[in-house]
Structure 1
């Protein structure tokens, strides 16, 4: 029974079936995962589960380095977590509008390393990709080296989401696009907080906002 049939039988709007977009590419990737060495799958599974923690570390490094930079740079560094949360909010709106079934439901015979999420845990866009790419894009606006590391990590995160069977490739690409488009704009807007940072550097928050001599 397809997702559309289930939805109609339940009297609700049917979920979107994205398998017609790139379902064959998804199954090609997951079949590679089926035959891959167990160690490789373990590494990718660990990365897809815990890799977002790296972006939190990169945000801390950006803040630490910004202590030696001018107020606009510090304002952008402090805004990175807020920017990521804001972009994630846009992602959740898109999820609720599109309501795309997970590939493990639309393609029930496909191989997955992760258990299939519950119905209603929509697939488009990929949350992990939105978070990873928005963080990388925001970091790029502050420190090119950190941004480059973040971008490589984001690409790896996006690939891992398809490899473990959680998302179609188009879910990942959409998540990347949302993050790359919105995060730089919001990060630049955060520069408007530079006067506040400049004032705060003369107050009790000085140790957090300025490197000690």
Structure 2
């Protein structure tokens, strides 16, 4: 429900289609059973932890690969942070008020964020898409898992009532593109450094599961 949030003037007017979709989705969400709403409220934030697990799986697998594979795994979370920082700048430029504050009688499951926590583009959608894209670049086969999780997370932001659909669409595209480009650029710059670090005995267990050549002789 609106929970008494004041209706405020919009600093950035959302598209009409997005407002209509928002009302349709949130009205449906409000009609779902309580356990569905509780699960959505939990997943919309805690779901980001799934990407931490996928980052760790990618790193563990990369230990058996070459230096480039390890670099891709290591830069994946860094590329995600880069996408988040870019999105933070964009948010401050648009300053779109959250729909749970801007729209009269807006239904929302999750608590409405603070008034100065802008809506466009969605940080959660950006982070989820960035993580999914960076993981997909590092481990292509994992894209069938990471991308659907990211899409579900993005949708959940509308479902719980804290974002318009266009917020999550923009965040998703922005996050995926920025993270993919950042991953490839950072990998090109850092693969040589990672290869050298793999030769350091203290770092080798974390960077490679391969036995050094002299140990195999």
State the TM-score, normalizing by the size of structure 1.
0.91
Separation (CA, whole Å) in 1 of partners of 2:45 and 2:131? 17
Work out the number of aligned pairs and report it.
204
Separation (CA, whole Å) in 2 of partners of 1:19 and 1:38? 30
Separation (CA, whole Å) in 2 of partners of 1:23 and 1:47? 23
- Aligned match of 1:205 in 203, 206, 209? 203
Separation (CA, whole Å) in 1 of partners of 2:63 and 2:46? 28
DSSP 3-state at the match of 1:3: coil
Structure 2, unpaired ranges of 5+: 1-5, 212-217
Separation (CA, whole Å) in 1 of partners of 2:179 and 2:57? 18
Aligned ranges 1:57-206 → 2 under 5 Å? 57-192=53-188, 193-203=190-200, 204-206=202-204
Separation (CA, whole Å) in 2 of partners of 1:153 and 1:78? 21
C-alpha contact 1:80 1:138 (8 A) present in aligned 2: yes
Shift of 1:147: 2.3
Q: CA RMSD in A?
A: 1.4
Structure 2 residue 27 is the aligned partner of structure 1 residue 31: yes
Structure 1, unpaired ranges of 5+: 5-13
Structure 2 residue 47 is the aligned partner of structure 1 residue 51: yes
C-alpha contact 1:87 1:134 (8 A) present in aligned 2: yes
Instruction: After superposition, give the CA deviation of every residue in 1:148-180 in whole Å (9 maximum; x if it has no partner).
Output: 211011011011000000100000000011012
Separation (CA, whole Å) in 2 of partners of 1:117 and 1:108? 16
DSSP 3-state at the match of 2:138: coil
C-alpha contact 1:140 1:146 (8 A) present in aligned 2: yes
Separation (CA, whole Å) in 2 of partners of 1:39 and 1:90? 35
Instruction: After superposition, give the CA deviation of every residue in 1:121-156 in whole Å (9 maximum; x if it has no partner).
Output: 100011110000001001111112222211011011
Separation (CA, whole Å) in 2 of partners of 1:190 and 1:30? 40
State the TM-score, normalizing by the size of structure 2.
0.90
